[in-house]
């Protein structure tokens, strides 16, 4: 079974530029999550989708971050404009859905904002 796919794996941008990350969850997984992991810390949830609907985006900085999952499968996370403090690993995870809470993570996208 293929795991969660993410691209790109690495990205370096200058502050105030924009960047987008892509995630393809495990086939059949209805729930998709985006996490931010700052160096030395545990992942922090940014947004959770159930199919193509947002379940929780309370921790998403909506002035600069946006995410979508239009067809209920793959998803994109965008940052515009980026700040220095956005340097982190952005992890995508998926789970089967309600009642099946185990989350499986992708390899992450490592973002460096200069």
Binding segment for other proteins among 14-22, 60-68, 73-81, 100-108 (CB under 8 A)?
100-108
Between 4 and 19, CB nearer to other proteins? 4
Tell me the C-alpha distance between 114 and 14, whole Å: 5
**Do 101 and 95 meet the contact criterion of CB atoms below 8 Å apart?**
yes
- Please, which residues have CB within 8 angstroms of residue 42's CB and are 6 or more apart in sequence? none
Of the candidate residues 24, 48, 75, 94, the single one contacting other proteins (CB under 8 A): 48
Q: Indicate whether 31 belongs to the interface with other proteins (CB under 8 A).
A: no
Which residues in 59-88 contact other proteins (CB under 8 A)?
none
**Do 56 and 6 meet the contact criterion of CB atoms below 8 Å apart?**
no
Of the candidate residues 1, 2, 27, 42, the single one contacting other proteins (CB under 8 A): 42
Tell me the C-alpha distance between 55 and 48, whole Å: 5
Binding segment for other proteins among 14-22, 24-32, 43-51, 73-81 (CB under 8 A)?
43-51
Q: Indicate whether 4 belongs to the interface with other proteins (CB under 8 A).
A: yes
Antiparallel, parallel or unpaired: β 44-50 and 104-105: unpaired
Two structure tokens written together for 4: 């969660």
Contact residues: other proteins, CB under 8 A: 4, 33, 40-45, 48, 56, 91, 93, 101-108, 110
């Amino acid at each position: 079974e293929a795991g969660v796919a993410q691209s790109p794996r690495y990205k370096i941008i200058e502050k105030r530029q924009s960047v987008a990350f892509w995630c393809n969850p495990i086939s059949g997984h209805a729930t998709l999550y985006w996490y931010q992991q700052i160096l030395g810390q545990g992942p922090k949830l940014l947004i959770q989708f159930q199919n193509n609907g947002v379940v929780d985006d309370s921790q998403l900085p909506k002035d600069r971050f946006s995410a979508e999952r239009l067809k209920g499968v793959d998803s994109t996370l965008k940052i515009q404009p980026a700040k220095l403090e956005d340097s982190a690993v952005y992890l995508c995870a998926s789970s089967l859905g309600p009642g099946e809470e185990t989350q499986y993570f992708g390899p992450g996208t490592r973002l460096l904002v200069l």
